[in-house]
A and B are shown apart, each in its own frame.
Chain A
Amino acid sequence: GAVVSQHPSRVICKSGTSVKIECRSLDFQATTMFWYRQFPKQSLMLMATSNEGSKATYEQGVEKDKFLINHASLTLSTLTVTSAHPEDSSFYICSAPRQPTSGYTFGSGTRLTVV
Chain B
Amino acid sequence: GDSVTQMEGPVTLSEEAFLTINCTYTATGYPSLFWYVQYPGEGLQLLLKATKADDKGSNKGFEATYRKETTSFHLEKGSVQVSDSAVYFCALSERNAGNMLTFGGGTRLMVKP
- Which residues of A are in contact with B by a Cβ distance under 8 Å? 6, 32, 34, 42-44, 46, 49, 93, 95, 97, 100-109
Candidates B42, B100, B106; contact of A108 at CB < 8 Å = B42
Q: Using Cβ atoms and an 8 Å threshold, which residues of chain A touch B32? A: 100-101
In the complex, whether B73 has a CB less than 8 A from a CB of chain A is: no
Is A93 a contact partner of B43 (Cβ separation < 8 A)?
Answer: yes
Q: Are B106 and A46 in contact (CB under 8 A)?
A: no
B46 CB contacts on chain A under 8 angstroms: 103-106
Whether B85 is near chain A, meaning CB under 8 Å from some CB there, is: no
* CA of A95 to CA of B100, assembled, Å: 9
Whether B105 contacts A42 by the Cβ 8 Å rule is yes
- Determine the distance from Cα of A101 to Cα of B34 in the docked complex, in whole angstroms: 9
CA gap between A100 and B43 in the complex, in Å = 19
With the chains together, A42 CA to B46 CA distance in Å? 18
B81 within 8 A of A: no
Interface pair A34/B100, CB less than 8 Å apart: yes
- Cα separation A46 to B91 with both chains bound (whole Å): 12
The answer to whether B77 has its CB under 8 Å from any CB of chain A is: no
Report the minimal beta-carbon distance from B48 to chain A, rounded to whole angstroms. 9
B85 → A minimal CB distance (Å): 15
Tell me whether B101 and A95 are in contact (CB under 8 A).
yes
B105 touches A100 (CB 8 A): no
In the bound complex, residues from chain A placing their C-beta under 8 Å from that of B100 are 34, 46, 49
Q: Please measure, in the bound complex, the distance between the C-alpha atom of A90 and the C-alpha atom of B10, giving whole angstroms.
A: 21
Contact pick for B101, options A6, A34, A102, CB 8 Å = A34
Closest A residue to B49 by CB, please name it. Answer: A103
A sample of 15 inter-chain contacts (CB < 8 A) reads A32-B98, A32-B99, A34-B100, A43-B103, A97-B99, A100-B32, A101-B49, A102-B49, A103-B34, A103-B49, A104-B46, A104-B93, A105-B46, A106-B44, A106-B45
